């Protein structure tokens, strides 16, 4: 038996001002997208913004439903729309932000397992790393590729 260890590294920024201009613009687009969240049940307004390899940006927000499982997270709303309109481009980066009562949450919102799996699939499809930027008011986390959030990615039957 051999014990193995996994190391995950990511960058933490104190504020949006510390980000590159490209990341700051994407982070702000995710924050702005929280305004079109439909979250009457959780009152947790999440926005996501996707930067495509051809420079286009697509946004999405969580959309809830009285039949709870029918709702969809911000990340998948944005990624599925982007993928449906990709026209040969791929997703380079995704930024996520969450608000409560109109205030950006202090801690970054971390994507659910289903959203991580969808990120993983689109990253595998493109063959290029997808960066993930999780935006909080108090700190911002940047992951260089999806494996940092979802180790041992399942991508096909062996
Ligand atoms: N939600 C997202 O949209 N993204 C996340 O990363 C976490 C959770 C949504 C789903 C639901 O509408 C609400 O937040 C509460 O879970």
pLDDT tens-digit readout, 72-112: 999 999 999 999 999 999 999 999 999 999 999 999 999 99
pLDDT number for residue 75:
98
Ligand 1 pocket, residue 131 CB under 6 Å: no
pLDDT number for residue 140:
98
Encoding tokens for residue 57? 């940006």
pLDDT number for residue 83:
98
Count of other CB atoms within 10 angstroms of residue 147: 17
Cα 44 to middle of ligand 1, angstroms: 7
Whether the CB-CB separation of 118 and 76 falls below 8 Å is answered with: yes
pLDDT number for residue 17:
96
* DSSP at 70: G
Calculate the alpha carbon distances from 108 to 51, 116, 121, 127 in Å: 19, 15, 23, 27
pLDDT number for residue 158:
59
Of the listed ranges 95-104, 119-128, 148-157, the least confidently predicted one is 148-157
pLDDT number for residue 157:
63
- Atom number, ligand 1, closest to the C-alpha of residue 73: 3
State percent of the chain over pLDDT 90: 96
Whether the CB-CB separation of 57 and 50 falls below 8 Å is answered with: yes
Ligand 1 pocket, residue 109 CB under 6 Å: yes
Cα–Cα dist 34/149, whole Å: 22
pLDDT reading at 22 higher than 90: yes
* Choice from 38, 45, 74 to test ligand 1 binding pocket (greatest atom count within 8 A of CB): 74
Ligand 1 pocket, residue 106 CB under 6 Å: no
* Choice from 33, 99, 112 to test ligand 1 binding pocket (greatest atom count within 8 A of CB): 112
Q: pLDDT tens digits for 91-102? A: 999 999 999 999
Encoding tokens for residue 46? 């999440």
Ligand 1 pocket, residue 46 CB under 6 Å: yes
């Amino acid at each position: 038996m051999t014990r193995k260890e996994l190391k995950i590294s990511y960058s933490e920024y104190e504020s949006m001002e510390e980000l590159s201009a490209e990341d700051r613009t994407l982070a702000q687009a995710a924050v702005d997208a929280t305004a079109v969240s439909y979250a009457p049940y959780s009152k947790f307004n999440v926005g996501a913004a996707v930067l495509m390899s051809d420079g286009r940006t697509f946004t999405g927000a969580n959309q809830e439903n009285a039949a709870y499982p029918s709702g969809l997270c911000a990340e998948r709303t944005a990624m599925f729309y982007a993928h449906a309109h990709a026209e040969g481009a791929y997703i380079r980066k995704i930024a996520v932000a969450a608000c409560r009562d109109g205030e950006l949450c202090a801690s970054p919102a971390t994507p659910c397992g289903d959203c991580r799996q969808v990120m993983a699939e689109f990253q595998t499809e493109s063959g290029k790393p997808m960066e993930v930027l999780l935006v909080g008011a108090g700190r911002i986390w940047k992951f260089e590729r999806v494996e940092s959030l979802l180790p041992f990615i399942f991508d096909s039957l062996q």
